[in-house]
Amino acid sequence: MALNPLVESRDVQFVLFEVLNIDTITKYPKYADFDRDTFIDTLELAEKIALDQFYQVNGEGDKEGAKYNPETKEVKVPECYKEAYKAYADAGFIALNIPQEAGGMGLPEIINISCNEFLAAGNIALSIYPGLTHGAANLIVNYGTEEQKKLYLDKMLSGQWGGTMGLTEPDAGSDVGDLKTKAVPQDDGTYLLSGQKIFMSCAENDLNENMIHPVLGRIEGDPSGTKGISIFLVPKYIVNPDGSLGEKNDIVCTGIEHKMGIHGSATCSMSMGDNGKCIGYLLGEQKTGMKIMFQMMNEARIGVGLQGLALSSSAYMHAITYAKNRVQGSDVAQMLNPDAPKVTIIKHPDVKRMLLWMKSYVEAMRMLTYYLAYNIDLEHVLDEEGAKEAKAVVEILTPVLKAGNSDMSWQITAEAIQVYGGYGFISEYPVEQLARDSKIGSLYEGTNGIQSIDLMMRKILMNPDQYNFKVWKKKFAETINKAKGVVDDKYITPVQKGMERLDEVISILAGQLAEGKFLHLFMNATPLQKIIFDITIAWMHIWSLTLTIPKVKELVGDAKGEERTKILTENSEAAFYSGKTLASQFWIGSEFPKVFGKIEALLTGETAVIKASDEIFTGALEE
């Protein structure tokens, strides 16, 4: 694979084929039609479209942004997006991992995820449009009637029609159960919907000739709260029985948000039923809306974790390029020599530290993201016990991935700006946009605070027998055992101690749950999530070291100094494995010790948060 400024292709292949050994999945009937060559060809096509299409219009699309016309109620996406979107859709990427029997290609989720890393790294705002269409189509695959599948799927999977998700309302954000969207049943089996939805990404655009909106609402007479919610398919244009477009439905865009980043992605407010004619079609069974929508929400949360990785990768790769070419200052080893030649800034220890810090996170985040995706595939092919464990891995790692990667992408893009110095702060250079685009990741698809509560309560403390947590620890222990004798104990021992301390934390939190100390629990949800993310990143690095250390011994041996430099210069594989080994050692040696401080902080039992009443926050005006 060619080098690119977005994603290190060699590392993608390392994770797929050396860490996860995804070739082996083709021995199962579900994926028997594929082989390693198919996987690599698909990855290379995604990389090509990312570089030649998505990335080329990223900056232009950011400057142009999505535009709303208040007279026509229509949204125009950046004109430059259209050719890139067509290339993506024509290549079949929307249907990549959709089952073949539903009209898709049936490739594994791990290939879908790794391809989309390239594409999101190239242009996250553009990637959101087909990403949401894929999620909406997948709902129809799993819950739609045969008629709904026949009417919608082919054109959605081809990219001709789009899809989105309608959850949030002005007075019902994270608390979805408070929604007010009402559905009134009609004699013909349809429903008339009325209500407003906000923050609907890509809900109105001129990329797609029709939109199919999965919308949460409450059928008249059904109970309040989440148990009374149903889900409906609300098309922009009614689809005739023969698949042609009929009249415009009574759903309109009332405006789009002016955002800090992802300017090319239209974040829409939508109004349904202003004229009493918004027709919706029940998806699945009545009052199962939240269960159904959680499929798309969980896919989206994994997608946000992927976006965090992609933006971090792009920022890191750009920072390397800049640091290798920007000449400033002399080598610190010659700081007393007034005639010392100027060097590129990558020679400076502090810049090298920043790059190694970024590299160590990006590579572990990639392993974490792909590992989770691969377990989605394993759920479908392993025996009952294996599938159960794979599902547990997916469940516990989804909030860790979403919150951890999105939080880190904000920090990593900021560090990339720091590498650029003052140039990083201006829009002529790409990292400024990457930082702006990254921030939304910690906010949408459930804020990271919500992810932390979900992790602590549903995935660990309230999970029967803490099964998810036990499986996570089992997989971790398997990695540690394989590392012994390969990885130096000075890297294994602290990570093991970190897990032991985490057990202590979980035991204390379980006791607080038994005592009903919910304030104590909820104030520590985010600190706990950050600790678990750190330990998971350490796990990924230990796993990586078990593979990279033997390769370094094979390719570099005991060479030092100029001999080692010569080997790394002439042998890209030697440089690759040496770099990964150093990144993992750096992270465990320099970053992981900080987790013990986080654990100590959580265990102090400090209750200032609980004591902090509203009145102590003085100086602000009340509305």
CA torsion, ordered 252, 258, 261, 266, to nearest 10 deg: 10
- How is residue 229 written in tokens? 């919610």
Helices and strands in the chain: count of H runs, count of E runs: 20, 14
CA torsion, ordered 116, 117, 120, 121, to nearest 10 deg: -150
- How is residue 590 written in tokens? 């320099």
User: In terms of Cα–Cα distance, which of 245, 219, 242 is closest to 230?
Assistant: 219
CA–CA dist 78, 53 (Å, integer): 13
User: In terms of Cα–Cα distance, which of 361, 313, 362 is closest to 122?
Assistant: 313
Q: What burial class does residue 537 get, using C-beta atoms within 10 Å of its C-beta: 0-12 exposed, 13-18 middle, 19+ buried?
A: buried
Distant-in-sequence, close-in-space partners of 8: CB < 8 Å, separation ≥ 6: 313, 317
C-alpha distance from residue 343 to each of 69, 71, 327, 422, 591 (Å): 52, 57, 5, 18, 28
- How is residue 21 written in tokens? 């050994």
CA–CA dist 612, 61 (Å, integer): 45
Residue 562: active-site member: no
Catalytic site residue from 8, 363, 379, 445: 445
Residues 309 and 366 sit within 8 Å (Cβ to Cβ): yes
Residues 433 and 261 sit within 8 Å (Cβ to Cβ): yes
DSSP 14-53: IIIIIIS-GGGGGGSGGGTT--HHHHHHHHHHHHHHIIII
- How is residue 429 written in tokens? 């250079």
CA–CA dist 166, 292 (Å, integer): 13
Q: Is the dihedral of CA 53, 56, 57, 62 positive or negative?
A: positive
Q: Which residue has the tokens 């010392």?
A: 340
CA torsion, ordered 562, 563, 566, 567, to nearest 10 deg: -150
CA–CA dist 189, 149 (Å, integer): 17
Q: Which long-range contacts (CB under 8 A, 24 or more apart) does 462-470 make?
A: 462/513, 466/506, 466/510, 467/392, 468/392, 468/395, 468/396, 469/396, 469/506
DSSP 576-612: HHHHHHHHHHHIIIIITTHHHHHHHHHHT---HHHH-
CA–CA dist 116, 94 (Å, integer): 10
Residues 457 and 466 sit within 8 Å (Cβ to Cβ): no
CA 276 centroid distance within chain:
38
CB burial of 55-79 (b: ≥16 within 10 Å; e: otherwise) equals bbbbbebbebbbebeeeeeebbbbe
The residues that are catalytic are 445
